[in-house]
């Protein structure tokens, strides 16, 4: 038995090396060009003698001993995975091994698309509840509505399961059918939907024109569509006579370097956007803009959640004087990762370089200091109000309700208990909106509260207000 395991171990290890070499080669020629942020600084292929069987002798011996003799049964495959995790574990935090599921999620994040029905869901009181269908998706076309509670997926009862488990059941290959059974309304009307899954593209660029012809573009992450979507949004605003631009990169964790460079080329004057250096500080690739300076002022909003590709754009705009940074210090993640698929359908994210700003600044673990520091006060995350509520109720939705009421200036506790003070505040709000003052929160009241909360939140966004002030000063 031991000889069999030894042979099997050796075969697996050799296959692992061969597959790694082959994928490095093919990735560099194909996959690399669109997925990776930059090529590795060294040529592909094993180095440092790792193909030498003597170097692997201890590893194979430990593998054999543990798989055959350890008290707890463990497979060779499990030990291999643990060994890989051990290798990446001694390196930086961005270098990590991904299982098949982790790799699939990463691909969805970077591609900005997935195959499914296109609805946002969350768990509410044990029910997988629709927050909203994405516009133009199979879920919207089928007639799914906010607050629908999904109770079955293809005949399987999903009450009580997690959101991630539900996502796994609802998503599937494009063109396949999924059957959902939902409960709708106070009467719990049971409805069934047969929906053909499609390719869902998740928006990462959002734009609108503010007062005084000030354009506003928010980028939530740099996925595969960000560059092209930004170009379209920018052109639309410019065609409307935009006098100044606010670029909101707050909470943007980064993404694909190619998309950041594309956006930089749309905003920056001719010159370097960023350049990469290897482990020895030797310059590798330099990425350039070939355009002209914009004829209008640009203000970039940043905070601690702005990282990586966001910092590339913000740093380039700051270094070149093409933009003014407003907000708080950024995260300080200036390393570049390459994503590489492995033969087991998992993948590897590993650090290959550092980037510098055009002036040569190394902001890794330091971040970018804004030109104008503005702290954000009285800011809360607005959660959707998904349940009807009345006096005596006690749950998280009541807490969310009380947060909105406090934001609107009402004196209520954040206890999660719908008490008399909360009821009275709801009645006052309902009167102000021309609604029946029942003190009970139903759909019409929830909608008005959500709208009022978003409007109040906009007024409390001191960073955005400062950006508007700067632009108005410059164009006056």
pLDDT computed for residue 392 by the predictor: 93
For residue 137 the two structure tokens come to: 């998706």
pLDDT computed for residue 336 by the predictor: 85
Query: Across the strands, what pairs with 215?
Result: 209, 245
Q: One of 294, 333, 354, 466 is an active-site residue; which one?
A: 333
pTM, two decimals, is 0.73
Q: Catalytic annotation on 433?
A: no
pLDDT computed for residue 51 by the predictor: 58
Q: What does the alpha-carbon distance between residue 381 and residue 385 come to, in Å, rounded to a whole number?
A: 12
Q: Catalytic annotation on 177?
A: no
pLDDT computed for residue 49 by the predictor: 54
Q: What number of other Cβ atoms are within 10 A of residue 37's Cβ?
A: 26
Distances (CA, A) of 45 to 13, 15, 21, 51: 15, 14, 5, 10
pLDDT computed for residue 464 by the predictor: 96
Q: Catalytic annotation on 474?
A: no
* Order of all β-strands in the sheet with 244-248: 205-209, 214-219, 244-248, 298-302, 324-327, 372-373
pLDDT computed for residue 432 by the predictor: 96
The whole-number mean pLDDT for each consecutive block of 10 residues of the chain, a chain of 476 residues, reads 38 34 27 34 48 74 90 90 90 86 75 79 83 81 87 94 85 93 84 92 90 96 93 98 97 90 97 94 93 96 92 98 97 88 84 94 95 86 80 88 94 94 97 96 92 90 96 95
Assess contact for 335 and 94: CB atoms under 8 A: yes
Q: Do domains 113-201 and 396-460 have the same CATH topology?
A: no
Residues 6+ positions from 438 with CB-CB distance below 8 Å: 427, 430
Note the CATH number of domain 205-373: 3.90.226.10
Q: Is the CATH number of domain 113-201 2.30.42.10?
A: yes
Provide the CATH topology of domain 396-460: Muramoyl-pentapeptide Carboxypeptidase; domain 1 (1.10.101)
Per-residue exposure over 335-352, b if at least 16 CB sit within 10 Å of its own CB, e if not = bbbbbbbbeeebbbbbbb
Domain ranges of the chain: 2-90, 113-201, 205-373, 396-460
pLDDT computed for residue 90 by the predictor: 92
Q: One of 308, 310, 318, 430 is an active-site residue; which one?
A: 308
């Amino acid at each position: 038995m031991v000889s069999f395991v030894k042979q099997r171990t050796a075969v697996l290890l050799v296959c692992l090396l061969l597959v790694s070499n082959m994928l490095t080669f093919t990735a560099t020629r194909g996959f690399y060009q669109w997925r990776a942020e930059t090529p590795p600084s060294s040529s592909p292929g094993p180095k440092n003698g790792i193909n030498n069987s003597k170097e692997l002798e201890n590893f194979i011996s430990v593998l054999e001993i543990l798989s055959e003799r350890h008290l707890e049964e463990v497979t060779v495959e499990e030990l291999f995975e643990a060994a890989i995790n051990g290798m990446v574990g001694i390196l930086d935090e961005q270098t990590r091994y991904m299982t098949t599921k982790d790799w699939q999620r990463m691909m969805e994040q970077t591609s900005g698309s997935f195959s499914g029905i296109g609805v946002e869901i969350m768990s509410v009181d044990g029910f997988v509840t629709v927050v909203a269908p994405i516009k133009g998706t199979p879920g919207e076309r089928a007639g799914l509505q906010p607050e629908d509670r999904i109770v079955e997926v293809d005949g399987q009862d999903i009450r009580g399961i997690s959101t991630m488990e539900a996502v796994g059941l609802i998503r599937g290959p494009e063109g396949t059918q999924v059957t959902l059974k939902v409960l709708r309304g106070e009467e719990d009307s049971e409805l069934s939907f047969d929906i053909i899954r499609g390719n869902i593209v998740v928006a990462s660029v959002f734009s609108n024109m503010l007062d005084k012809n000030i354009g506003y573009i928010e980028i939530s992450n740099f996925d595969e569509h960000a560059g092209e979507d930004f170009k379209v949004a920018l052109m639309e605003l410019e065609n409307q006579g935009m006098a100044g631009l606010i670029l909101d990169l707050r909470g943007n964790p980064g993404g694909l370097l190619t998309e950041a460079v594309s956006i930089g080329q749309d905003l920056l004057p001719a010159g370097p956007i960023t350049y990469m250096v290897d482990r020895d500080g030797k310059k590798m690739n330099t990425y350039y803009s070939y355009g002209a300076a914009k004829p209008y002022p640009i203000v970039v909003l940043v905070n601690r959640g702005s990282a990586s590709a966001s910092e590339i754009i913000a740093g380039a705009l700051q270094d070149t004087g093409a933009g003014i940074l407003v907000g708080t210090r950024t995260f300080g993640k200036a390393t570049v990762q390459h994503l590489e698929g492995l033969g087991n359908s998992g993948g590897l994210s590993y650090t290959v370089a550092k980037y510098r700003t055009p002036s040569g600044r190394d902001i890794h673990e330091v971040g970018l200091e804004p030109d104008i520091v503005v702290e954000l006060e009285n800011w809360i995350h607005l959660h959707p109000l998904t349940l009807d509520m009345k006096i005596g109720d006690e749950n998280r939705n009541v807490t969310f309700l009380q947060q909105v009421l406090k934001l609107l200036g009402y004196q209520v506790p954040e206890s999660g208990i719908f008490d008399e003070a909360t009821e009275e505040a709801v009645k006052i709000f309902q009167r102000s909106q021309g609604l029946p003052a029942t003190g009970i929160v139903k759909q019409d009241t929830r909608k008005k509260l959500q709208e009022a909360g978003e409007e109040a939140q906009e007024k409390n966004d001191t960073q955005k207000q400062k950006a508007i002030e700067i632009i108005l000063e410059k164009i006056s």
